[in-house]
Amino acid sequence: MNFIFYLSCIIAFLVVQGYCLSDHKINQAQNLSIISATTYPSGQLRLTINAFDTNYDLHLEPNHDLFHPQAVIYQDGQSFPMISEGAYKGHVNYANTTLGWARILIQKRQDQSLLIEGAFRIHEDIHHIKSRDAYHRVKRFNDPNVHKDSMVVYRNSGTIWSNQASHHQCGINKLPIIDEKRDIAKRTEKGCPIAKKINYMGVAADCTYVQYYKSKEAARLQILNDFNIASALFEETFNVALGLINMTIMDPLCPSKVSIDWNRACEPDYSLYDRLSDFSLWRNRLGDDGAGLWHLMTNCPVGLEVGLAWLGQLCNTGLSEQTEDDGKVRYVSGTSVSSITQDEWKIVAHEIGHSFGAIHDCNASSCPCSSDNCASCCSLSETQCSAEGAFIMNPTSNSSVERFSPCSINTVCSLLPSIATCLSDPQQGSRHSLRLGTCGNGIREEGEDCDTGGKESDCCDVKTCKFINHAVCEDLNDACCHQCQVRPSTFMCRPSLSPCDQAEYCTGTLPTCPPDRYEKDGTICSNMDSLRCASGQCTSRDQQCLARGYTMNITRACSVSKEECKMLCEYPDDSTKCTLFSADFLDGTLCGTDGKCLNGLCLEAQGTQPSLSPAVLVTVIMTTVVLLLSSFGCWLWIKKKKSRKQQSPQLSACSSLTLVDNCVCK
């Protein structure tokens, strides 16, 4: 009997041990409930919420600093005033004691109940609030499932980390160094403003970002949430709040004919570096629009690199060039870019930190440093090199950090007096003048017939964005336009890009190309049976892992994760380990027995029930094996010892091994 029980434990361990992740996981997530909500005439709001079995009072007020008085949203070729309702800031109270800050986004649902998202800090522990849909959209396969209610809360202290160096990375170290004057002895905290200032920013969401969040409205809310939370960190640290003056949201369907260079689908030969350079060139064409920085939101990271920024370019609306060794020119301006991650606001804050002048904190890989290379990172102090990954400017992401290091604070504060020429006082935002229609930015907006982005055209006046020469369309803006006239219906305006993508033809009456159409998901599209259609692409799990991880020599998906729709890819040097990217397999990718991925979940053929994740399946298998073996043992024992009644002690000897399915590779 002892042998049987030990054998069952060994079997369970061998089944599970190869299913480790070189990433972090949320150990605990719970439903969040609103106990009460009281609104005061002044606009202040008091929310009593229950999180982790404790009631907290959130004392909130509208965050007017988040919105420029003339802030606008550009989408669908039109501009709209940015609605300043729903974003709140304040603090957390418990037993009449203030515990930390709170940044909350509030929406009213159809039944008039409240849906809240955001974050609040209790001492040094940040609690994140997401809608259930938002949580499941970015959850990793081994994060807890939360099925009830509509809001989820999890906290940094409930995050388990591995020691693998395969976390998300910032790629700024690969960019040319613009300013090398980084003498540690000259760093000082003096220079940060005594009175609060606001850095108004422009934010653009490319097609891949909007596509991930499924709608322009969902993308807008996510951006507001990111900047509302990130602003708390900058205001607390540098006395500079982050505000929004412009939000440009692109269509979720990536164009087959690229007109705005940074707004395109993910491509292996178009890096995050390329996207930032093109975004900088585009930003320069906007001129002095009142934005101290522009930030691009995308879902096209390269490998583990999820963000980039030009160092110390706060308030730079101009343009400079960097020429690489191969002769390729990169454009530099006050810009940054970040990709989608679980705690997206931290990547946003990290990259904006670079724009403010902060460099990466030193870590174990850069220490000890000599006098020649210490300038490449920020030492914790004059006596200690490594900051040990404890701060937000760590080169790799860490979900448990939310502060700038003393070195970063000193660096930024010493630079602000010389670069922060565009910051506004909270009551002086109206002094900026933002044109609702910016002719020349390459986006055709309300009131414009055309917009070539400053390129000369026979169809469009580049100064007024109006048709000329009897034009009815603009070749650069419209796929079914040729020499300023509508093309015939025989013209193919969008060729097939893969066996899964149907070609589209002009209508003969409209200058725009009809919507993209695809072959049915799951259709065999190659002589290789493993390649199937998914969202218009002829692909497979391995192909998607290769596209995302080629810079890391990743070529295959994890063989044990076919039930999963989170992007789990095989570690290049160890097939027993998996790297988890902050992405899902494409909608329509095969999964489970006969299912397809949709929004990161595996839906079986009937389309109603998500299949079980591998961790759950392993637990079920292990439990079944143990129960069967236990039953068999009990039957043998009863047969031999009918007259005696006792409980087998061996069951508890291996029950703890069920925790192995949550292991993290070391």
Residue pair 521/596 in contact (Cβ under 8 Å)? The answer is yes
Residue with tokens 């143990």: 626
Residue 351 appears among annotated catalytic residues: yes
What's the distance, Cα to Cα, between the start and end of the chain in Å?
34
- Alpha-carbon gap, residue 232 to 87, rounded angstroms: 12
Cα dist from 586 to 313, 377, 599, whole Å:
36, 37, 8
> Binding site annotation covers 360?
yes
Own/partner contacts of 287-291, CB < 8 Å, gap of 24 or more, are 287/317, 288/317, 289/202, 289/245, 289/246, 289/317, 289/434, 289/435, 289/438, 290/68, 290/70, 290/200, 290/245, 290/432, 290/433, 290/434, 291/200, 291/201, 291/202, 291/245, 291/246, 291/317, 291/334
Alpha-carbon radius of gyration of the chain: 27
Tokens of 648: 């087998």
Strands 20-21 and 574-584 come out as: parallel
> Binding site annotation covers 354?
yes
Helix, strand or coil for residue 8? Answer: helix
Tokens of 417: 């007096």
DSSP 174: G
Within 10 A of 373 (CB to CB), how many other CB atoms are there? 11
- Phi, psi torsion values for 58, nearest 5 degrees: -100, 115
> Binding site annotation covers 295?
no
Within 10 A of 664 (CB to CB), how many other CB atoms are there? 16
Residue pair 451/437 in contact (Cβ under 8 Å)? The answer is no
Strands 25-26 and 29-31 come out as: unpaired
- Alpha-carbon gap, residue 38 to 42, rounded angstroms: 12
- Give me the catalytic one of 117, 344, 351, 474: 351
Cα dist from 426 to 66, 105, 647, whole Å:
10, 20, 71
Tokens of 219: 């993308």
Binding residues for Zn(2+), as ranges, are 350, 354, 360
Binding residues, as ranges, are 350, 354, 360
Residues known to be catalytic? 351
